A = this chain, B = another copy of it.
Amino acid sequence: MDLAALIEKLREFARERDWERYHTPKNLAMAMSVEMAELVEHFQWLTPEESLAAKDNPAKITAIGEEMADVLLYLVRLADVMDVDLEQVALRKIGLNALKYPPDPQKAKL
């Protein structure tokens, strides 16, 4: 599956519920930030080590995965509404980040 398939599903989902009028970029960004915080909430009181260990707790990792999916769904929906090619921009952004933060030469050769 790729993001194009997800875009199509979410477009249909919004159309079938007459939700397109709510899906302004402003509203979608707000809603995404709320889902984002529901993900953050899982980690707020954990030590770094406990946050790593959460992946071995089936109930926790299921809940965390669902919050991550919620963020992705709004992100993909916003990309569709704004005609942004998310994958292409993500690849370009990795290139920009590589210029901004050159690799540690000691590590890069590993």
Residues of chain A having any CB pair with chain B under 8 Å: 1-3, 6, 9-10, 13, 15-18, 22, 24-27, 29-34, 36-49, 51-52, 54-55, 61, 64-66, 68-73, 75-76, 78-79, 81-87, 89-94, 96-98, 101, 103-104, 107-108, 110
Contacts and interface: CB of A to CB of B under 8 A. Distances in A.
B37 A25 contact: no
| Interface-centre pick from A70, A82, A103 (highest chain B CB count, 10 A) | A82
| Interface class of chain A by DSSP | helix
Contacts of A39: 29, 32-33
Given A25-B54, A89-B68, A94-B9, A31 B44 contact: yes
A66 B89 contact: yes
